Amino acid sequence: MIVFIPGWMSESEERRWVDEMVRRLERSEAKRRSPGRHGDDALRRRCLELSRRYLGGKAIPTTVRWVPPMRTRWASCTPADGTIRISEKLRDAPGWVVDYVLVHELAHLLEPGHDDAFWALVRHYPRTERAMGYLEGLSAAAGLGMVGTDGEPPPELGDDEQAAVPA
């Protein structure tokens, strides 16, 4: 967290203001955390709700679980058996980001590739672009070099931009 404060503040005012901003941010983030962060059962229930809301209830995973951090992706899906795995690196991410990742993986149950039909499904989630930006920023800030949600660059990148994205 970076807090900008006026140069005229005293050290004690600066400390008080920074402490207050940290408290506000923590309260705000706690309200926005995903209901699925407390365990695999909660994560699966959240998937079913998101499928109902954004995918017409058509994407029904057999299992959804938190897994140890993956090296190159935030999540993965195996459409053949309906399993979805979400990296524990996202456990404390804002709820709307986890929801995007879940919708992305749920869409793979209906469209396995990253074609136009797949992205049309994902974009039913209203915060898709914002969540993709959040994940790109999180990856860059942590020096993780992760690309997209499940290892594929999003389709908005041009060919020359995709070549510059680490795999």
CA distances for 31 relative to 28, 117, 119, angstroms = 5, 33, 29
For the stretch 103-138, pLDDT in tens is: 999 999 999 999 999 999 999 999 999 999 999 988
Strand locations in the chain (E): 63-67, 75-78, 83-87
pLDDT band at 166 (very low <50, low <70, confident <90, very high): very low
Q: What is the pTM of this model?
A: 0.69
What SS3 class is residue 139? helix
Length of the chain: 167
Considering only 6-10, 74-78, 150-154, which range has the smallest mean pLDDT? 150-154
Closest by Cα among 139, 133, 165, 138 to 152? 165
Task: Write down the pLDDT at residue 156.
Answer: 59
Mean pLDDT, the chain, whole residue set = 82
Task: Write down the pLDDT at residue 162.
Answer: 35
Strands 83-87 and 75-78: antiparallel
Considering only 51-60, 74-83, 95-104, 149-158, which range has the smallest mean pLDDT? 149-158
Task: Write down the pLDDT at residue 161.
Answer: 37
Strands 75-78 and 63-67: unpaired
